[in-house]
Structure 1
Amino acid sequence: MREQKNRQDREYGKEEASLIQEGGYISPIPDLWEDILIGVVLKKPVLLKGPSGSGKTKLAQSISHFFNQPMHSVNCSVDLDAESLLGFKTINADSGQSIIEFVEGPVVQAMKKGHILYIDEINMAKPETLPILHSVLDHRRMLTNPFTGEVIHAHPDFTVVAAINEGYVGTSPMNEALKNRFISFSIPYLSGEQLRKIIQTLFPQSDLSLVNTMMNINDDLRKQVMNGLLAEEAASVRSLLDAIALAEHMPIRRAIQYAIAEKLEDRMERDLVRELVETWVK
């Protein structure tokens, strides 16, 4: 069983140790990483709120690495149903006879094995699907499987981490009964030296001028997002990293076009991105 002392014994004294986690996540806020770990230690379901590309999935992976705890992922959509969460029955042939077997889904597996259950874009699921998890997420930490009748009590190490992109197309506000079962953390975009650090880690051979140019473009994109002239995804760290990877093999203008501008639905926003690029690329 995990001990709180083991977590407290982790070395956070050096600045880089507090920023770069085993799974690759870099915290833009000094206390954010440690505060989330405290929530996990206390067996509280953790909800990560932030824009697309802010590193929520990377953060969940870092938690998995930190505790050396496997992670089962659920990607929510309007098609998500109870079978996708809990499992399904199937017919197998054994010695000429047909046998009905139950294939356990990610929720059941994570509960029994004491693994992490990561529910991505939880507010994309239909509201009527998720109440089946209420008893899993509160103090009971148990579930009666409607497909088998089995009563499942969660392993002591079982952990739930969920993520949402608020206000995006296709999402809906979380049911209050569901939201109240989580403790919530806002996950902002990386910027400044934290962003530079992860770029240098992922692209150690990149030319310094390329990194500086991309950092400057990203700063301008963030400002326009804050001004309400660009959608949040224009400043996505994930998209920026994609652009850098492309720019190592093609001109920056085309890299930004493919990795950032073309993802924006509004033509005026795409044009604005191109204009910002022109101020830094001669």
Structure 2
Amino acid sequence: MAEPYYIPSGDEVAVFEQCHAHQLAVMLKGPTGCGKTRFVEYMAWRLGRPLITVSCHDDLSAGDLVGRYLIHHDDTVWQDGPLASAARHGAICYLDEVVEARQDTVVVLHSLTDYRRTLPLEKTGELIHAAAGFQLVVSYNPGYQRMLKDMKPSTRQRFVALDFDFPPAEREIAILVHEGGVDAGTAHALVTLTHKLRGLQDRGLAEVPSTRLLVATAKLIAGGIPLRRACYAGLVAPLSDDGSLVGAMRDLVDLSFA
């Protein structure tokens, strides 16, 4: 596996490495598209551990994580879920947007996030002892969460938390040059525009443009799409259907690239 491109913003690499060494679970908090998933991919590469990623959602059940019996020909066979597989084989298990899962599903994580490091399989009677190298990592976007969509304190306190945010301008420019394939001047102009668009959050924009959207826009430009058209499609249209907000964002694009 090639090294994932990641530029550290602080001491998050050192903290994660210590968590891995001491078998501590990690929680990544930050806005959508700010680099949380890429960070986990980079750390899995750096630590030499396999990575199993689960995108959490409302319908995610404990059985989806732990496993279930499946019919195979004339017999039923047990199939480990991603959490059980990671614990059994010493992988890093990454639960993306964990609070989207039901609370009764999240409870199955508890025994893996304390001194026990075990996962009971109630349907088979097996107790999996997490192999060396297993680590549980979860992420979520605090800006989206409400009282009914948040972690219980009893769950939160089982994790070491790392806060993420969008990269500073110079680092975001470097990301666009490397990931988006544009020149430094274009990258600088895109980042400057994006900072202006992020300022519209106070005007009702629910979600500001992420670094992920910025990279997608840069790729359109590098592929030959005219700059303003790429910004309309890559930065403006995905963020809102509100006519006034879309108009304000398009105005900023036009002013930036007149």
TM-score (structure 1 length as normaliser): 0.84
Aligned to 1:243: 217
- Asked if 1:57 is matched to 2:37, the reply is yes
Deviates more, 1:150-159 or 1:259-268: 259-268
Structure 2 CA distance for aligned equivalents of residues 41 and 273 of structure 1: 46
Aligned to 1:69: 49
Structure 1 CA distance for aligned equivalents of residues 103 and 33 of structure 2: 24
What is the percentage of aligned positions where both structures have the same residue? 28
- Asked if 1:198 is matched to 2:178, the reply is no
Equivalent residue in structure 2 for 1:122, among 85, 90, 98: 98
| Structure 1: gaps spanning 5 or more residues | 1-20
By how many angstroms is 1:140 displaced? 0.8
Letter in 1 for 2:120: T
Q: Count residues in correspondence.
A: 254
Aligned to 1:9: none
- Asked if 1:22 is matched to 2:22, the reply is no
Cα shift readout 1:43-92 (whole Å, capped 9, x = no counterpart): 11100000000011101101110011111111111100022101111122
Residue 69 of structure 2 aligns to a residue whose secondary structure is: strand
Work out whether residues 50 and 164 of structure 1, in 8 Å CA contact, stay in contact via their aligned partners in 2.
yes
Work out whether residues 20 and 133 of structure 2, in 8 Å CA contact, stay in contact via their aligned partners in 1.
no
Letter in 2 for 1:115: A
Deviates more, 1:33-42 or 1:55-64: 33-42
Equivalent residue in structure 1 for 2:230, among 236, 255, 258: 255
Distance 1:239 1:160, change over 3 A: same
Equivalent residue in structure 2 for 1:159, among 122, 130, 135: 135
Distance 1:191 1:216, change over 3 A: same
By how many angstroms is 1:232 displaced? 6.2
Residue 51 of structure 1 aligns to a residue whose secondary structure is: coil
Give me the CA root mean square deviation. Answer: 1.9
Distance 1:34 1:113, change over 3 A: same
Structure 1 CA distance for aligned equivalents of residues 206 and 37 of structure 2: 17
Cα shift readout 1:153-188 (whole Å, capped 9, x = no counterpart): 101210111110123278711111111111111111
- Asked if 1:112 is matched to 2:112, the reply is no
Aligned to 1:209: 185
Distance 1:83 1:198, change over 3 A: same
TM-score (structure 2 length as normaliser): 0.91
Structure 2 CA distance for aligned equivalents of residues 230 and 202 of structure 1: 30
Structure 2 CA distance for aligned equivalents of residues 195 and 36 of structure 1: 22
Work out whether residues 121 and 162 of structure 1, in 8 Å CA contact, stay in contact via their aligned partners in 2.
yes
By how many angstroms is 1:27 displaced? 2.2
| Structure 2: gaps spanning 5 or more residues | none
Distance 1:169 1:139, change over 3 A: closer
Structure 1 CA distance for aligned equivalents of residues 3 and 21 of structure 2: 17
Letter in 2 for 1:22: E
Work out whether residues 221 and 230 of structure 1, in 8 Å CA contact, stay in contact via their aligned partners in 2.
no
